[in-house]
Amino acid sequence: MRSLSQYLCALLLLLSLLSADAQPTIESLDEGDPNNALRVQLGLIARGSPDSIILRFAPSKPGAWLIGNKVGYRIERADLRADSSVSPFRPLLDSALKPWTAERWIAYSESHPDINDPNHVDYVGIAFTLLNQYGEEGSERTDYSSNEMESISERKGELDMRFSIAMLAVDRNTDAADGLGLRFVDRTVKAGQTYVYRIYLADDPGIYLIDTGIVHVKAEHKKLSVQSDLIAEGGEKRILISWKADPQYSSYFVERSDNGENFKRLNALPLVTLRPSQPTATDIELFQDSTVINYKPYIYRVYGTTAFADEQLVGEVSGMARDDVPPENPFLPNPVHDAGRKVVVRWEMEEPVATDLAGFNVGRSTSEAGPFMSLTPTLLSPTTQEIIDTTFLMNGTNYYIVEAVDTAGNVSRSNSAYVALIDSLPPAAPQWVDGRMDSNGVVTLRLRSNTEVDLRGYRLLRANAPDHEFSVVIESFGEDKYSQTDTLFRDTVEMHTLTRYVYYQAVALDRNFNESNPSVVFAIPRPDIVPPTGPVITDVVVTDTSVQLQYISSSSDDVAYQSLFRSIGEEGEWDSIARINRHDSIFIDRDVEPNVVYRYAMLAVDSSGLQSDLSMSVSGRPYDTGIRPGVTQLRAAYDSTKKEVELEWEYGGLQENYWFVIYRANADGQLRQFARTSSRARTFVDTENFGIGSTGIYAVRVVTSSGAQSKIDDRVSVLLPR
């Protein structure tokens, strides 16, 4: 058996393989979870045949592997009955299954001299070295870092590497698997019988929680799995082979034939892909063969290696490398409109031109991004570098590209280039559809879309008065615009200004920047956020029956009306008594009482409902003339039976204390106060006899406690009969 230093070369070779393309054979658990960090899966698989069953097993963590190497594994078997019940388990070995002893390793080395062949990967020797129990140069390194944390990291990395390579070695060689105590062959089976096997650690697992591995298998030949579909993709002097990853294979070998009979293995070391877990249905394996000749057909076979150290055919596929390198990109300056119906398209190719250039294709489109329509039914010759287009759109946009095509069909494309047509006809003036401004000063404007096919876009101009100079605020054809011919515009203006409107014009431009006439001026009203100025009461004139107010109306243009408020007394509540036209300047309040103080104030309301502040208040008190309304319907009648005169009258009443004074004429005909009666009375009886055959004259006056009184306008007379 070789020395440890000899095996280090093989170990480093395998390590480089694993670093690039390694794949663990057992899915690792989430070590971020404290419970999972110590839980170990004991993976167990089996392969049956009529005379034996092979078991392969391994723990999922390197630390558990070390413990298993020391204490070994117990293997038990039970029969799976026809009714799906299981017989009692019985051990298959009298003692735990452990790695070989040192003597057996040496005996194996002596009986297999071919393991020293430098062209042969000695997986058994590698397994022995990785076991790290027996070694000519000691069991462990002594040159770890003096830093405790770095030393722990180094030891863990070394153990992970040893474990990964050991798992690869036992997958590649049955003797290596036997030597590490990770394989067992049960030769006491009965053909056709199904068995249940379980395996567990033979002694204390230490800190780990190691699951028991269980598998059931029938003692019969297993049908080979269905071969996978391989895909071959040819490129420039290379062929890429791909196939679906399969968890039953730990590595792969690829073979190639150029005649369909003799196959040569392309990878001396197994192909392994590094993944964090078992492959899924979407994972693929890749192998690239870069030792091929273009356009020469090859046949490939892929073999997968199993955990039982054998190979199975994964699939077969044919492939061919081909030229996939396109020619150099042509350079296309802007084509030239040569007046009339001619556009000259010239392009350039960098020297030297590729020898496999087949020709050129010139395309035209109305959009810079295409799609482009070919101008010729076939390729132009490789020496052609100019074409004249007579079918371009005279009133539209024209973009061109040039494609270089080689004999393999590879295509390279030039930049797209726009041709500026000779055009002096401007677009029609834009037409407004609608516009509005919101309370934040955001103006939204919409134009009716122009119909010109060569329309480039629009300029939007703004001014604060229709006779001011308009300034450009928006151009729809800037490089940062998504849609250059968009007809919806948004602008933002100042709101706190006395200018009632903001004014807009629009101009359309074509591809040659010919400008249309400006649109009509569009006046957009600003939303009213400023209340109107308030009216001012300038004078108060009072009479006995009215209060006349003189005022100056609000100066704001958008005043809808002005409200007049009145209160009785200085502390009374305000009541709205009138809406006043803004063009009036006088208001007369006739709903007043004498000697009552009235207070007045005004405010303005604009068309948006905004109100001005209430004006300064003024007061007025109608004066009292001392004259009160007199009684009406005064009547007198003589009752001859009772010998008395009865007076009757009507009166509406007053809002103050009053009474009635009865007047009767004396012998001289002069009215004199005769009697007094309360304000509730509407009749009076005169029982004093003023002479048979005489005529009595009566009148009634209203008198108030303030001294006011009514006039005596009505008199009545009554004749006393003889």
- Does 13 lie in the same domain as 132? yes
- Does 68 lie in the same domain as 203? yes
CATH code of residue 678: 2.60.40.10
pLDDT for the residue 214: 96
- Please report, as a single letter, which amino acid is at residue 33: D
Asked, for residue 543, whether it belongs to a domain, the answer is yes
Domain that holds residue 714: 627-719
First to last CA, the chain: 180
What does the alpha-carbon distance between residue 296 and residue 260 come to, in Å, rounded to a whole number?
13
**CB of 521 within 8 A of CB of 504?**
yes
- Does 22 lie in the same domain as 136? yes
Bridge-based pairing of strands 627-628 and 709-710 is parallel
Mean pLDDT of the chain: 87
Report the percentage of the chain scoring pLDDT > 70.
91
pLDDT for the residue 226: 64
Q: How many domains does the chain have?
A: 6
Q: Is residue 335 pLDDT above 60, yes or no?
A: yes
Q: Is residue 133 pLDDT above 80, yes or no?
A: no
Q: Is residue 17 pLDDT above 60, yes or no?
A: no
pLDDT for the residue 19: 37
**Last residue of a domain, which of 184, 218, 252?**
218
pLDDT for the residue 34: 59
Asked, for residue 225, whether it belongs to a domain, the answer is no
> pLDDT tens digit string along 500-540?
899 999 999 987 788 999 999 999 998 877 788 999 999 99
- Does 390 lie in the same domain as 268? no
pLDDT for the residue 196: 96
What does the alpha-carbon distance between residue 618 and residue 603 come to, in Å, rounded to a whole number?
13
> pLDDT tens digit string along 290-301?
999 999 999 999
- Does 67 lie in the same domain as 38? yes
> pLDDT tens digit string along 696-717?
899 999 999 988 999 998 899 9
Asked, for residue 364, whether it belongs to a domain, the answer is yes
Which of 225-234, 396-405, 629-638, 658-667 is the least confident region? 225-234
**CB of 407 within 8 A of CB of 322?**
no
> pLDDT tens digit string along 610-651?
899 999 999 999 988 888 899 999 999 988 888 889 999 999
41-69 exposure pattern, b = at least 16 Cβ within 10 A, e = fewer: bbbbbbbbbeeebbbbbbbbbbbbbbbbb
pLDDT for the residue 364: 96
Asked, for residue 424, whether it belongs to a domain, the answer is no
> pLDDT tens digit string along 410-420?
999 999 999 98
Q: Give residue 250's Cα distance to chain centre.
A: 44
Asked, for residue 223, whether it belongs to a domain, the answer is no
Asked, for residue 297, whether it belongs to a domain, the answer is yes
**Last residue of a domain, which of 458, 493, 525?**
525
What does the alpha-carbon distance between residue 709 and residue 657 come to, in Å, rounded to a whole number?
11
Q: Is residue 32 pLDDT above 80, yes or no?
A: no
Q: Which of 626, 595, 625 is nearest to 701 (CA)?
A: 626
Q: Is residue 25 pLDDT above 50, yes or no?
A: no
> What are residue 91's DSSP bridge partners?
76
Give the residue-averaged pLDDT of 228-240. Answer: 91
> pLDDT tens digit string along 253-293?
999 999 989 999 999 888 888 777 778 878 999 999 999 99
Which of 27-41, 104-118, 211-225, 675-689 is the least confident region? 27-41
Report the percentage of the chain scoring pLDDT > 90.
57
- Does 173 lie in the same domain as 42? yes
pLDDT band at 138 (very low <50, low <70, confident <90, very high): very low
